[in-house]
């Protein structure tokens, strides 16, 4: 048997041949892929011919085909249906792939050719996309250290390695402390307020730990535990909150404070080595934000009104707590009580019964008559299930996407259900990145974590799950509607602080009257969702924005504060809690009842990495989202004309031009922040 990744897939749309792939194929395919790309790069770097766009940039874009095929398939498998083999491989591959990336970008011969080409950029007669590819590639190489001298490159490699070790240690210590701090409950009376399902999960968590006659509340990453909204016992709520907030700051082997300080110091030193004053400057230079000052501008503008709104919400919660004389808590509202009282206010004020709503959200109906329907009205897309094609998991469904009565667009794979071998959350991955250069159409997959119903019962989605499906499908559209030449620019290959924008926009169609009416149909009676329920739903969705915005902003500002330190300043910080307190007080977000969504000692986004100096991205792209929603509302809403403009000027161009220029091209002007302020009640 030959390895299924060595040759291009012969399946429709080059879908990876999932039916043939075995666990034994991954590592040999990665080895072959790394070797192939190393040989290709060697040929590019040592080419005796004068550097041209074709023999440098296009050759780079064409390189690494085996690696691209196996990476896409493997990382989908490892996240959606992992096993011991993929777990071990992920650990083994992470440093090797990082080293491979460094080997490309720190190769002095490659850099000389790229730099020479860049110097002649005005004489090369390049298309706009080619010119942008040249600029972006040079910028990426420079940001990665390509232009440094040999000694500095060596120091950089050293720092990269130390940082990769420290961030991995942070991740492991946090995971261990999170597990150690799970809250064990012996008296079932303390668990009053939980549903049967929640109790069952807590009992199961105890069994998994080998505990008899006990229940376990396992901690989740954010400060606020989801069960705090339903636990009636204030003492248990306080225990859960205290455990959550003490992660990484209890002393002992899982304490992360020393790691936080060391990571901040090394990142500051690396930034200076790369020619930037601090880590945040280095990170944002490679994003649409451009500078930490621009980030500070936006966050600073939102902080005071968000804190004010949270304070107003607290007044409401206290009033209700005081009026329920004799109730647990006696009128006091601590951080641990917030969610519980907020739930009461929500129920009282909006009378929303989310359980009733699920009867109107049957999954297949939401998918076909909601998500697909909106895409067909906007972009003229048609969807047909291809039961003959095998997805990455037996439960994954494959849909062929066409337009204009059958012209091929790509494949959409949906893997809806949760399983033990799937990581939490929801996400989109490309399985094949669209590229005209390589003649590849797009294949994308959405993964969600919806509970599987009992056999014979329909899958009914919660309101959050419907939102998530529309959101993830927005990412899928970004991949499916890509129309670029170079694979580096395809679909969601855009800046981190831009990538959430198209998916956030797609959420708007979920409650759009013509769409909602079309899919929200009772799964037994066939009746449409009553108008009154829809109105309550819309009204209740904006309740609690003061709290949500404040806890998010607190973390985003902390993430910036740690990464705006110069090396000298970073060396002088020796107390994590004091630094945090000072940073939050400086922006008025040191609210006792509203702790940051993540505190430094368990802020995995920033200290395990991935969103370091980038946690601001979510609200940054929401500015564009809210502004684009306003445009749709003013320009015909759900129509082909509006959809086609968004597709041609924004979704289709992917990363092939400056995203803010693409936005201007779509919107006719820069985004305004006012629609976001209004949406979040901050105006």
Which residues of the shown chain bind Zn ion in the complex (CB under 5 A)? 500, 503
Q: Per DSSP, what are the bridge partners of residue 551?
A: none
User: Does residue 399 sit in helix, strand or coil?
Assistant: strand
Least Å from the CB of residue 423 to Zn ion: 15
Least Å from the CB of residue 369 to Zn ion: 23
With CA atoms as reference, report the closest residue to 367 among 456, 458, 490: 458
Instruction: In whole angstroms, give the CA distance from residue 560 to residue 165.
Output: 22
Of 500 and 559, nearer to Zn ion (C-beta) is 500
Least Å from the CB of residue 464 to Zn ion: 14
| CB 603, CB 559: distance < 8 Å | yes
Least Å from the CB of residue 427 to Zn ion: 7
Q: Is the dihedral of CA 92, 93, 98, 101 positive or negative?
A: positive
Show Cβ contacts of residue 325 under 8 Å, excluding neighbours closer than 6 positions.
none
Q: How many residues does the chain have?
A: 683
Backbone angles phi, psi at 435, to 5 degrees: -160, 125
Residue whose beta carbon is closest to Zn ion? 503
Least Å from the CB of residue 492 to Zn ion: 9
Of 190 and 500, nearer to Zn ion (C-beta) is 500
Least Å from the CB of residue 616 to Zn ion: 15
Least Å from the CB of residue 418 to Zn ion: 18
| CB 236, CB 185: distance < 8 Å | yes
Catalytic residue among 61, 287, 465, 472: 472
Instruction: In whole angstroms, give the CA distance from residue 13 to residue 434.
Output: 10
Assess whether 514 carries a catalytic annotation.
no
User: Dmax of the chain from CA atoms?
Assistant: 85
CB neighbour class for 90 (10 Å; exposed up to 12, middle 13-18, buried from 19): middle
Least Å from the CB of residue 587 to Zn ion: 26
Instruction: In whole angstroms, give the CA distance from residue 498 to residue 620.
Output: 8
Least Å from the CB of residue 221 to Zn ion: 16
Instruction: In whole angstroms, give the CA distance from residue 319 to residue 62.
Output: 64
- Alpha-carbon distances of 602 from 200, 236, 244, 336, 593, rounded to whole Å: 27, 21, 9, 18, 18
Instruction: In whole angstroms, give the CA distance from residue 432 to residue 164.
Output: 28
Of 367 and 570, nearer to Zn ion (C-beta) is 367
For residues 194-228, one letter each, b for 16 or more C-beta atoms within 10 angstroms of the residue's C-beta and e for the rest, the string is beeebeebbbebbeeeebeebbbbbbeebbbbebb
Least Å from the CB of residue 500 to Zn ion: 5
With CA atoms as reference, report the closest residue to 415 among 383, 381, 441, 449: 449
Instruction: In whole angstroms, give the CA distance from residue 531 to residue 414.
Output: 30
| CB 265, CB 571: distance < 8 Å | yes
Of 279 and 478, nearer to Zn ion (C-beta) is 478
Euclidean distance between the first and final Cα of the chain, in Å?
A: 64
Backbone angles phi, psi at 539, to 5 degrees: -65, -40
CB neighbour class for 274 (10 Å; exposed up to 12, middle 13-18, buried from 19): buried
CA-angle at 283, arms to 280 and 288, nearest 5°: 110
Of 37 and 429, nearer to Zn ion (C-beta) is 429
CB neighbour class for 673 (10 Å; exposed up to 12, middle 13-18, buried from 19): middle
Least Å from the CB of residue 503 to Zn ion: 4
Least Å from the CB of residue 475 to Zn ion: 6
Q: What is the 3-state secondary structure (H, E, C) of 498-551?
A: CCHHHHHHHHHHHCCHHHHHHHCECCCCCCECCHHHHHHHHHHCCCCHHHHHHH
User: Does residue 439 sit in helix, strand or coil?
Assistant: coil
Of 447 and 503, nearer to Zn ion (C-beta) is 503
Of 433 and 503, nearer to Zn ion (C-beta) is 503
Least Å from the CB of residue 494 to Zn ion: 12
User: Does residue 600 sit in helix, strand or coil?
Assistant: helix
- Alpha-carbon distances of 224 from 163, 237, 537, 593, 659, rounded to whole Å: 29, 10, 23, 11, 34
User: Does residue 37 sit in helix, strand or coil?
Assistant: helix
**Positions marked catalytic:** 472
């Amino acid at each position: 048997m030959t390895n299924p990744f060595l040759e291009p897939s012969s399946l429709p749309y080059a879908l990876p041949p999932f039916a043939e792939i075995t666990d034994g194929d991954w590592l040999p395919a990665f080895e072959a892929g790394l070797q192939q790309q190393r040989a290709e790069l060697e040929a590019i770097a040592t080419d005796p011919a004068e550097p041209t766009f074709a023999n440098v940039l296009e050759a780079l874009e064409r390189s690494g085909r085996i690696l691209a095929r196996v990476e896409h398939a493997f990382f989908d498998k490892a996240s959606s249906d992992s096993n011991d083999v993929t777990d071990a491989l992920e650990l083994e591959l992470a440093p090797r792939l990082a080293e491979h990336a460094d080997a490309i970008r720190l190769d002095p011969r490659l850099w000389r050719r790229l730099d020479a080409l860049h110097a002649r950029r005005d004489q090369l007669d390049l298309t706009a996309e080619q010119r942008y590819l040249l600029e972006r590639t040079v910028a990426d190489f420079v940001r990665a250290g390509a232009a440094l001298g040999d000694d500095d490159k060596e120091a950089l490699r050293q720092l990269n390695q130390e940082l990769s070790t420290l961030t991995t240690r942070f991740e492991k210590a946090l995971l261990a402390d999170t597990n150690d701090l799970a809250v064990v409950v012996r008296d079932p009376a303390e668990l009053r307020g939980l549903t049967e399902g929640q109790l069952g999960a807590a009992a199961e968590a105890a069994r998994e730990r080998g505990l008899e006659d006990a229940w376990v509340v396992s901690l989740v990453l954010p400060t606020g535990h989801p069960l705090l909204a339903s636990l009636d016992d204030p003492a248990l709520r306080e225990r859960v909150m205290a455990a959550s907030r003490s992660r990484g700051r209890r002393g002992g082997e899982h304490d992360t404070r020393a790691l936080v300080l060391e990571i901040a110091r090394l990142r500051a030193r690396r930034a200076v080595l790369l020619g930037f004053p601090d880590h945040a400057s280095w990170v944002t230079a490679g994003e649409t934000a451009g500078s930490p000052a621009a980030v500070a501008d936006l966050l600073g503008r939102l902080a005071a009104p968000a804190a004010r709104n949270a304070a107003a919400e607290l007044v409401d919660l206290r009033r209700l707590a005081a009026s329920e004389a004799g109730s647990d808590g006696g009128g006091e509202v601590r951080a641990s009580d917030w969610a519980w009282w907020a739930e009461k206010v929500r129920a009282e004020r909006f009378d929303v019964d989310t359980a009733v709503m699920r009867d109107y959200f049957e999954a297949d109906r939401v998918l076909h008559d909601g998500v697909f329907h909106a895409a067909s009205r906007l972009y003229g897309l048609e969807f047909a299930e291809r039961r003959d094609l095998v997805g990455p998991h037996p439960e994954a469904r494959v849909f062929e996407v066409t337009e204009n009565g059958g012209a091929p667009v790509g494949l959409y794979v949906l893997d809806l259900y949760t399983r033990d071998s799937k990581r939490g959350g929801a996400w989109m991955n490309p399985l094949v990145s669209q590229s005209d250069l390589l003649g590849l159409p797009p294949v994308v997959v959405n993964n969600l974590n919806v509970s599987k119903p009992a056999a014979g019962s329909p899958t009914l989605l919660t309101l959050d799950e419907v939102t998530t499906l529309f959101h993830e499908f927005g990412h899928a559209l970004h991949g499916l509607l890509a129309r670029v030449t170079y694979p580096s620019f395809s679909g969601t290959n855009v800046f981190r602080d831009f990538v959430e924008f198209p998916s956030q926009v797609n959420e708007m169609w979920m409650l759009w009257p013509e769409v909602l009416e079309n899919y929200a149909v009772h799964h037994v009676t066939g009746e449409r969702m009553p108008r009154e329920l829809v109105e309550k739903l819309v009204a209740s969705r904006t309740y609690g924005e003061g709290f949500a915005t404040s806890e998010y902003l607190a973390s985003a500002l902390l993430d910036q504060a740690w990464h705006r330190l110069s090396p000298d300043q970073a060396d002088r910080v020796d107390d994590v809690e004091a630094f945090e307190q000072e940073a939050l007080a400086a922006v008025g977000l040191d609210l006792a009842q509203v702790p940051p969504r993540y505190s430094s000692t368990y802020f995995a986004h920033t200290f395990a990495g991935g969103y370091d100096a980038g946690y601001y991205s979510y609200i940054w792209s929401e500015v564009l989202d809210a502004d684009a929603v306003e445009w749709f509302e003013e320009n015909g809403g759900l129509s082909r004309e509006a959809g086609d403009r968004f597709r041609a000027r924004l979704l289709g161009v992917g990363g092939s031009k400056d995203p803010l220029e693409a936005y201007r091209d779509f919107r006719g002007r820069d985004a305004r922040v006012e629609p976001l302020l209004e949406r979040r009640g901050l105006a």
